[in-house]
Amino acid sequence: MILKAKNKKNHVHLSMKKKSRILGIDPGSNYMGYAIIISDGKSHEVIDMGVATFQKLESHLEKIKGITKFTDKLLEEQKPDILAIEEPFYGKNIQSMLKLGRAQGAVISCALRQDLPVFEYTPRRIKQSVTGKGSASKEQVAAMVSAITGIPNDENSYDATDAVAIALCHILSKDLDKKPPVRRIKSKNQWDQFLKNNPDRLKE
């Protein structure tokens, strides 16, 4: 089952040198968020996003098979130039980490079979690049993704907005090593000031 999130074309100023079609993936064995962003060097737009669910498949191996089929179809239909994917994070539940790693590996293997460049980003770097805060919550990430791209802030589509954030991380990371670190946001009252100080993070 695929849950699609509709959105209109939205644009943001960027400093990338050429047009790229970026696939962002938030991997998971039950739910996998995905997003396609096109950057032309001056602006970018979210052209597709959604959540693929494999929860009802009987076994973990069946889920991996489903992830592989879905990813192959997504790559064939969208023809991205780059895959940006979240690295598995370390947790206390070893089995959950193993399943997440397998899901991520399935997506990466699909990309590598098509010679697609793969970029991995830690959860902390993704949050830092989009919100300025490496420990930001899903709600804060979704709010900033909405502010940057103009897509609806839907609490039922956090996997999809996380995928958008991963693709945005790849785009925004182009400047992370050239600019001073973005000031960390410590409270909700600082969001307005953050947006004021970072107009490049806002939609046109």
Torsion of CA 150, 89, 128, 79, to 10 degrees: -40
- Spatial contact of 25 and 14, defined as CB atoms under 8 Å apart: no
- Active-site residue flag, 159: yes
The one catalytic residue in 45, 48, 86, 162 is 86
The one catalytic residue in 45, 48, 159, 162 is 159
Torsion of CA 79, 15, 138, 85, to 10 degrees: 40
Instruction: Give the chain's end-to-end CA distance (angstroms, integer).
Output: 34
The one catalytic residue in 26, 45, 48, 162 is 26
- Spatial contact of 37 and 47, defined as CB atoms under 8 Å apart: yes
Q: Which residue bears the tokens 């502010």?
A: 147
- Torsion 54-89-163-80 (CA) sign: negative
Catalytic residues: 26, 86, 159
